Each structure stands twice: as C-alpha cells, then as structure tokens.
Amino acid sequence: MKRILVINGPNINLLGIREPEIYGKESYADLLAFICNSARSAGVEVRCFQSNSEGAIVDEIQNAIGQFNGIIINPAAYTHTSIAIPDALKATGIPAVEVHLSDISNREEYRKISYTAEACCATIAGKGFEGYSEAIEVLSSISH
C-alpha cells in the first residue's frame, strides 16, 4: 500500500479564520477529514503534518526517507521564501506534489514565485481542498 506524507506549512492551521474570502470557510479539521477520505477512496495511507516552522518541515521531509512513497506539500508562505524545503525534497528522492488552496498565479507578484515547484513532479493550485485529492491521484499513479 502506498504511504503518502501530507505536509502543510504556516497558517494552514488557521483555515476558516484566515482570509476566508481567499482560503474558504472550512477549518483545518475539515481539510484533514477531506484528505483522509480522499486517501481511503484511493486506497492509500496518509499521515498529515502541519507546522509554522521551516526547520520542523525540513525535519519531517528528511524523516520521510524509507517511510513514505510520496509527499504532498503545501509550503504556504515558505513557497516563496524557502530554499531549505525544496533542497530537502530533492535530497529525499521521494516524489512530491506541491498543492496550494488558492491560485498563486493570480495573486500578489511575490506569490507567483515558487521555489518548491522545481523539486516537485506537479503543482496543483487554485482548486481548494480538491487539490489534495488530485495530488493523491498523481502520486498513486507513480511507481516508487
């Protein structure tokens, strides 16, 4: 059975509170339930992790070696600032998909830059929670 690690970055834990006009009114607990249901439907096992700390995210990526067949990452604000996160993704060799709830290509100029994208086999943006389900499908189709 495929095992996928889902990593959510800073402020994702504030879903439903933070800018609901951009990120929606559903909570982080709602997102976790959606991810678990999507994984169950796809026949994969998932573990979800959220942190506001870049170092904790890097540690989690490194700890995935030998444990997971894929990584779904929503690095949130670190998408546009972190070099350490894509470096960790590249170092593990684990296929990764970048997910964003909003369409970062239609937002502020600085949000259009993703350092994480080059370390991922796909980027899914602007599809809300459904982006995570699509990422599960992408990773499920990769043999690793």
Residue 1 has pLDDT above 90, yes or no: no
Do residues 84 and 91 lie in contact, with contact meaning Cβ atoms separated by under 8 Å?
no
Residue 112 has pLDDT above 70, yes or no: yes
- For the stretch 44-103, pLDDT in tens is 999 999 999 999 999 999 999 999 999 999 999 999 999 999 999 999 999 999 999 988
Residue 105 has pLDDT above 80, yes or no: no
115 is catalytic: no
Length reported for the chain: 144
1 or 132, higher pLDDT:
132
The model's pTM:
0.94
Q: Determine which helix (DSSP H) or strand (DSSP E) holds 57, and give its type and residue range.
A: helix 54-63
Which of 23, 28, 78, 132 is the catalytic position? 23
Which of 28, 78, 100, 132 is the catalytic position? 100
Query: Residue 143 — pLDDT band, cuts 50, 70, 90?
Result: low
Burial of 48-64, coded b for 16+ CB within 10 Å and e otherwise, reads bbbbbebeebbebbeeb
Tokens of 68: 């997971």
pLDDT of residue 40: 97
Residue 140 has pLDDT above 90, yes or no: yes
100 is catalytic: yes
Do residues 35 and 46 lie in contact, with contact meaning Cβ atoms separated by under 8 Å?
yes
Contact partners, residue 85, CB within 8 Å, separation at least 6: 54, 57, 58, 61, 73, 75, 78, 115, 116, 119
